[in-house]
């Protein structure tokens, strides 16, 4: 791992309390006494998403501690886990389509497009450690979408437009900061510029749909 990113795992750990807070009202607060009729597919999605978060958080620590073999084994496990995670969104998409509120599919589908894009690029560049790591960082930033998207209205009383704008502002600010950090350290920052472009498209589509 690049020395300038040796503490990356600790930054990823910050996701845990944020995710726990975001999903407490809709899921955590109901555990384990879920209401009758609670969609079982939500449990499947929750389990897969938890495994995915645990995997991406563990990987930088394995690299930093030179556990390369285990890092690669977990990377290969992601070839099985990641497609299941994406498929676990399908029941929710079907429910949205049946409800007729077609525009609401944008949120999870748009995030999935970003997630698949960054994950696929990270795997494609798995033998180029710098690019591989940066595309995985971009994939992790996608997780801020559903977390901020829940925290905004549930805890801060923000409406959808302001919540999404806050989300884009935070993600793009992180990417800009990482870009300048890499420029200063003379590292390859191009994955971050691609990520900014992708999140920018995500934002444009959102505003076209909901403004």
pLDDT beyond 90 at 74: yes
**Average pLDDT of the chain, as a whole number:** 92
Structure tokens given for 4: 């300038």
For the segment 110-136, the average pLDDT, to the nearest whole number, is 95
pTM of the model: 0.93
Q: Dihedral through CA 129, CA 131, CA 134, CA 138, nearest 10?
A: -130
Tell me how far CA of residue 32 lies from CA of 28, 85, 138, 152, 179, in angstroms: 8, 22, 33, 25, 43
DSSP 8-state secondary structure symbol assigned to residue 33: S
For the segment 43-61, the average pLDDT, to the nearest whole number, is 93
Q: How confident is the model at residue 55 (pLDDT cuts 50, 70, 90)?
A: very high
pLDDT one-digit tens code per residue, 134-171: 999 999 999 999 999 999 999 999 999 999 999 999 99
Tell me the residue ranges of DSSP E strands in 55-182: none
Structure tokens given for 202: 């995500």
Reduced to 3 states (helix: H, G, I; strand: E, B; else coil), residue 32 is: coil
DSSP 60-85: HHHHHTT-HHHHHHHHHHHHHHHHHH
The burial class, CB within 10 Å (0-12 / 13-18 / 19+), for 202 is buried
Max Cα distance, the chain (Å): 56
Q: What local confidence, expressed as pLDDT, does residue 77 receive?
A: 94
């Amino acid at each position: 791992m690049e020395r300038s990113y040796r503490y990356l795992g600790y930054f990823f750990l910050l996701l845990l309390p944020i995710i726990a807070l975001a999903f407490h009202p809709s899921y955590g607060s109901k555990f384990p006494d879920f209401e009758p009729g609670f969609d079982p597919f939500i449990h499947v999605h929750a389990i897969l998403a938890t495994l995915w978060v645990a995997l991406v958080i563990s990987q930088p620590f394995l690299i930093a501690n030179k556990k390369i073999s285990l890092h690669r084994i977990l990377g290969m496990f992601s070839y099985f886990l990641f497609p299941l995670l994406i498929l676990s969104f399908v029941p929710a998409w079907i429910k949205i389509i049946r409800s007729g509120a077609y525009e609401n599919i944008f949120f999870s589908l748009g995030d999935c497009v970003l997630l698949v894009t960054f994950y696929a690029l990270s795997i494609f560049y798995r033998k180029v450690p710098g690019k591989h790591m940066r595309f995985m960082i971009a994939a992790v930033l996608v997780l801020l979408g559903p977390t901020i998207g829940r925290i905004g209205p549930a805890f801060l009383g923000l409406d959808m437009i302001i919540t999404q704008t806050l989300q884009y502002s935070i993600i793009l600010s992180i990417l800009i900061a990482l870009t300048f950090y890499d420029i200063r350290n003379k590292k390859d920052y191009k994955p971050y510029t691609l990520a900014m472009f992708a999140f920018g498209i995500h934002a444009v589509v959102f505003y076209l749909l909901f403004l």
